[in-house]
Chains A and B, each alone.
Chain A
């Protein structure tokens, strides 16, 4: 009987050049790249985020570089007093002052300004109309009711929203994965207690707690982050718990236990990497939820302290100044774009990680 063994087949396969090995993660990344909308959304979102990280270089009332009387200044980093530019006072220079601007028009002096000549907190005292003033050559998207440039505030507000969402998502994922992993891996009584705790915790009136706490404490981003994190981990932990419950009884986990690996090693090396699909899929959606939460709280005046550039605060201004359409329109556009990009990324990720998709 000539039974062909598999070994020669394997041997010949090993002898011919192999294509590079593809990990499941890399395969998913390939599928994600093939998802045009999601992939380009990621690129665009990344670009916007990187740009907003350098917001000081784009929107600032101080020049990036300035040359005055043969001396080079970098007012962006260190703002010299007005006296350095021929002024009379020892106060920090206001580059919108017509006197200072005239000084820089003299031969040999120049200043390199960022594209938007306003910081999020700087007030345009030299606007031609009363505030809020409409779009003009100096304020591209107009000013808000305190005379601050809307474009600058949107840029800084976007940065703040995204950073806040990233932090909130990171903390939520960390807590959620930890709680879900422990419940799912140990099961039994641990799981029972954990689930009951989550039910009790989840039925706390989150919004009222926020209102109460914002009255008790100094409102601030950190307080918001802590409060929202306290409640933001539960949805995710349920998914992770279910994945752990499913994976812990698979044969490869049993084999690892028979091998003598510790519980911690099994969770980290074996179960966690196989349980991350829901976590990764939900990341963009959680980010957009976090952005929305921050915006909503700011809109209600429960969020960031006054003066902080925030999309919600701008929306509230838009509501209070309905005739100043540029405030609401600009904020609305930024919010919609951000949330849409995140949703498209989420769709792409979901498709890329869908186990039912044909492996190609």
Chain B
């Protein structure tokens, strides 16, 4: 076997004296696909980026030999020659990785003229070639487009074209598909795969998604808190994981953990929609926009009934109107048609909820609460836990005294498993005084659930409740949601793009495509025997990854 392309020895990374990567070793052969897997905070991105010394504050130790040259000892000037030339990077969020002020062609051309010494004319032809190679439709036209004029998938293609412009020997892909929809994800991976083979590059794939790894990589490295805990060929690691952490990662995919639903009691639906439509006003282009505003129908003709104690999953890609549906159910958007909570409408027919907080609306708001996707933006950073969780009581049960309120807050936090059943009172009170930044993502999501539960709602709107969480934490939050549903007979309106989560929670499923319902039915029926081509493509996109069997 020839000498490896990249040889990393005892790589350690520290920030301000605090070591986060503790001496990892690995090798990467030319043309190999290596995956670096771990949860957030495991140091996977940090280790990869510090190979190119792209983190200015990091103190990097060890050695990283790229074809005999130690990247960590090169001068900044020599390193600039390596970056973007022999080693290129693709980042997670293509919108922020492309400069919004330059056209895509400009940005690719910059690399060609700087690194490859092409003239402007030669570069122009090469740009179109590169874009065409990434499967970009109409490459000549797209080369002159600005990043905001491209869709997410097209931007990611442009990023790839940019990375390939210098014909690198090593491509570092940092979560290249996380920001993309399921069906795009597969396409992007296939594209990366074919390009990698054709150009004979080595590929270092950084991801938290194990199923991506199984589908795509040759070898896998598993990182846990900056330690390399396991490495080996993909098949071997997936079949016979040695390290408990790897096994935990592998075992933490959502499972459908409930039997067939008990027969429905005769009860009115918690949430009922009839011919529900939501339209936004959008500015019209040109002079017409000065006088009249256009309308954009984000959701139209949606009909469903959500009985008590059940979960309705709403699936769709980004832009399909599922978040709009969630906001309408929360009474935060004007809507047309009928939308009733426990038989009571949010507003006058055709009016939508008035903005004023009438007592009637406040009473309704108590029935419907929400848990958002991002546990970092859903808690106000300037309020402590007691204030955040207890806020609902201030509004809906203002007669409670401070100790009574505190007791209810503690009870809610116990219910979501954030506090032990008993403990010294002083410790519990200290715990209540903490601020959100002192908690992890999973803990914050539990706090958000406690905030919603404390007013004893009948319906919880879950807007991508687990997609910002690590896989192991995701499973715990799903279990918590299932338990709460059983204990409190709650109804969930579950908004997600992740069919795994739907499978784990939902009784009924509703599939949205560009604002309209294309398929609707029980979870088993929709996910196992999808009828509509769009649903089929969604299920297909993750089918090889998630073999679904009925309970």
A residues apposed to B, CB below 8 Å: 1-7, 10-11, 14-15, 17-18, 20-25, 250-252, 254-263, 265, 269-270, 273-274, 358-360
Given known A-B contacts A24-B437, A259-B395, A252 and B473 have beta carbons under 8 A apart:
no
A-B contact pairs, 10 of them (CB 8 A): A2-B248, A10-B419, A11-B419, A14-B427, A15-B427, A21-B430, A252-B380, A255-B452, A259-B395, A260-B365
Given known A-B contacts A259-B455, A360-B16, A18 and B431 have beta carbons under 8 A apart:
yes
Complex formed: what's the CA distance from A359 to B376 in Å? 15
Residue among A17, A20, A252 making CB contact with B379, cutoff 8 Å = A252
Instruction: Name the 8 nearest CB pairs between A and B, nearest first.
Output: A260-B365, A251-B378, A11-B420, A7-B417, A273-B382, A251-B372, A21-B433, A260-B362
Complex formed: what's the CA distance from A359 to B427 in Å? 25
Give the residue name and chain of the A residue nearest to B430 (CB): A18
Nearest CB of chain A from residue B460's CB, rounded to whole Å: 10
A23 in contact with B419 (CB, 8 Å): no
B369 in contact with A259 (CB, 8 Å): yes
Residues of B within 8 A of A3 (CB): 248, 251-252, 472, 475-476
Residues of A within 8 A of B434 (CB): 18, 21
Residue among B374, B446, B479 making CB contact with A251, cutoff 8 Å = B374
Complex formed: what's the CA distance from A4 to B461 in Å? 27
A273 in contact with B417 (CB, 8 Å): no
Q: Does residue B391 face the partner (Cβ distance < 8 Å to A)? A: yes
A260 in contact with B437 (CB, 8 Å): no
B357 in contact with A258 (CB, 8 Å): no
Give the residue name and chain of the A residue nearest to B427 (CB): A14
Q: Does residue B90 face the partner (Cβ distance < 8 Å to A)? A: no
Q: Contacts A5-B479, A10-B419 given; 19 further ones with Cβ under 8 A?
A: A4-B472, A15-B423, A21-B430, A21-B433, A22-B438, A24-B381, A254-B327, A254-B370, A254-B372, A255-B452, A258-B332, A258-B368, A258-B461, A259-B455, A261-B357, A270-B380, A358-B15, A358-B57, A359-B437
B420 in contact with A14 (CB, 8 Å): yes
A24 in contact with B372 (CB, 8 Å): no
Residues of B within 8 A of A15 (CB): 420, 423, 427
Interface size on B, residues (CB 8 A): 62
B391 in contact with A259 (CB, 8 Å): yes
B332 in contact with A257 (CB, 8 Å): yes
Nearest CB of chain A from residue B184's CB, rounded to whole Å: 25
Q: Does residue B331 face the partner (Cβ distance < 8 Å to A)? A: yes
Give the residue name and chain of the A residue nearest to B366 (CB): A260
Given known A-B contacts A7-B418, A251-B374, A23 and B15 have beta carbons under 8 A apart:
no
A14 in contact with B377 (CB, 8 Å): no
Q: Does residue B443 face the partner (Cβ distance < 8 Å to A)? A: yes
Give the residue name and chain of the B residue nearest to A262 (CB): B357
A260 in contact with B443 (CB, 8 Å): no
A14 in contact with B382 (CB, 8 Å): no
A4 in contact with B248 (CB, 8 Å): yes
Nearest CB of chain B from residue A238's CB, rounded to whole Å: 22
Residues of A within 8 A of B331 (CB): 258
A250 in contact with B418 (CB, 8 Å): no
A358 in contact with B16 (CB, 8 Å): yes
Residues of A within 8 A of B452 (CB): 255
Q: Does residue B120 face the partner (Cβ distance < 8 Å to A)? A: no
Complex formed: what's the CA distance from A257 to B366 in Å? 11
B476 in contact with A5 (CB, 8 Å): yes
Give the residue name and chain of the B residue nearest to A13 (CB): B431
Complex formed: what's the CA distance from A146 to B434 in Å? 62
Residues of B within 8 A of A21 (CB): 384, 430, 433-435, 438
Residues of B within 8 A of A358 (CB): 15-16, 57
A24 in contact with B377 (CB, 8 Å): no
Nearest CB of chain A from residue B452's CB, rounded to whole Å: 8
Complex formed: what's the CA distance from A263 to B356 in Å? 9
Residues of A within 8 A of B130 (CB): none
Residues of A within 8 A of B419 (CB): 10-11, 14
A22 in contact with B435 (CB, 8 Å): yes
Complex formed: what's the CA distance from A1 to B57 in Å? 40
Complex formed: what's the CA distance from A351 to B16 in Å? 17
Complex formed: what's the CA distance from A67 to B434 in Å? 60
B370 in contact with A258 (CB, 8 Å): yes
Give the residue name and chain of the A residue nearest to B359 (CB): A260
Nearest CB of chain A from residue B409's CB, rounded to whole Å: 14
A260 in contact with B395 (CB, 8 Å): yes
Complex formed: what's the CA distance from A10 to B473 in Å? 13
Give the residue name and chain of the B residue nearest to A259 (CB): B392
Q: Give B30-73 as 1s and 0s: 1 = Cβ < 8 Å from A's Cβ atoms.
A: 00000000000000000000000000010000000000000000
Nearest CB of chain A from residue B361's CB, rounded to whole Å: 7
Residues of A within 8 A of B144 (CB): none
Given known A-B contacts A257-B332, A258-B369, A252 and B377 have beta carbons under 8 A apart:
yes
Complex formed: what's the CA distance from A256 to B378 in Å? 10
Give the residue name and chain of the A residue nearest to B355 (CB): A263
Residue among B361, B442, B446 making CB contact with A260, cutoff 8 Å = B361
Give the residue name and chain of the A residue nearest to B448 (CB): A255
Within 8 A of A (CB), among B425-460: 427-428, 430-431, 433-435, 437-438, 440, 442-443, 446, 448, 451-452, 455
Residues of B within 8 A of A25 (CB): 382
